[in-house]
Amino acid sequence: MPSAIIVGASTGIGLALAGRLVAAGWTVTGLARSAAGLEHAQYRHVVADVRAASYRDVLAAASEPLPDLCVYCTGIGHELDFAQPTRESDVFATNLVGAVITAEVIVPRMVAARAGHFIGLSSQADRIIDRDAPSYAASKAGMSSYLEGLALACRAHGVAVTNVRFGFVDTAMAKAPGPKPFMISADRAAQIIERCIRRRPIRKTYPLRMAAVLWLVRWGTRIRIWAS
Ligand SMILES: NC(=O)c1ccc[n+]([C@@H]2O[C@H](COP(=O)([O-])OP(=O)(O)OC[C@H]3O[C@@H](n4cnc5c(N)ncnc54)[C@H](OP(=O)(O)O)[C@@H]3O)[C@@H](O)[C@H]2O)c1
């Protein structure tokens, strides 16, 4: 029976993926700060905060024996608020540093076993410069670059690393007001991740129509920066 660990499994895409994997016969360990969002004989939940000093040890224990798959679904995003400056570093600690610590704990053991798959949920926001939520876009830029570099390093060792870049997904994270073109459901996002588990690409961008919109946004921002 294949096994997976999902970090950020209490809600949203991580929860939808956990549900799909147990239904397909996987055993799944989920981590999050909240209690389990799923009850199933093949699901085990561990309460953990990726920003806590204990996270590395908690993850090491939770990932024993080494699972076939690790998916980092944890993420937060905040609009820039000068009255709450530390929220900016919280976003980097959760989205980027948490992902790197997770890879540090899991990937070397996969390399030693010459088997395994590490998936990180970055975002199509990784290519934009965002005045409303600069920490979110920048943390995802770092995450995408890290995951794809790691993927190239791991290939020769029989380990796959995949950078998943969604546009808008209908979860708590996408509840801020404003247009959300081409938004997909959390279950559709989980389906796309399942396809990545089978095909093991280095990068998966979905939907591509959203990437075209963001390409235009990127050029608009570049022109504004050049003109400044
Ligand atoms: N929704 C979108 O439009 C969208 C688009 C592109 C990419 N993504 C990415 O997809 C990933 C999943 O997001 P989602 O949309 O499913 O949002 P979500 O429903 O808010 O899920 C986020 C998950 O991260 C966990 N989490 C947050 N902070 C944590 C911490 N310090 N320690 C441990 N777990 C923590 C949450 O659980 P607890 O709060 O219980 O800890 C939850 O399980 C994120 O990386 C996000 O950036 C989302």
| Cα angle: 173, vertex 176, 178; to 5 degrees | 130
High-pLDDT (> 90) share of the chain, %: 97
Q: CA–CA separation, 165 vs 186, rounded Å?
A: 14
Cβ of 18 below 6 Å from ligand 1? no
pLDDT reported for residue 30: 98
Cβ of 148 below 6 Å from ligand 1? no
Query: Per the structure, how many domains does the chain have?
Result: 1
Range of the domain at 69: 3-226
pLDDT reported for residue 25: 98
Give the mean pLDDT of 75-97: 95
pLDDT reported for residue 17: 98
Cβ of 10 below 6 Å from ligand 1? yes
Tell whether the model's pLDDT for residue 14 goes beyond 90. Answer: yes
Nearest CA to ligand 1 atom 45: 75
CB 7 within 8 A of CB 31: yes
Predicted confidence (pLDDT) per residue in 209-221, tens digit: 999 999 999 999 9
Give the mean pLDDT of 56-83: 97
Nearest CA to ligand 1 atom 46: 75
Please state the atom number of ligand 1 nearest to the C-alpha of residue 16: 16
pLDDT reported for residue 61: 98
For 93, how many CA atoms within 13 A lie in the half-sphere containing its CB?
11
Res. 177 pLDDT band, cuts 50 70 90: confident
Cβ of 32 below 6 Å from ligand 1? yes
Cβ of 139 below 6 Å from ligand 1? no
Cβ of 90 below 6 Å from ligand 1? no
Domain harbouring 161, CATH code = 3.40.50.720
Q: CA–CA separation, 68 vs 155, rounded Å?
A: 15
Please state the atom number of ligand 1 nearest to the C-alpha of residue 9: 43
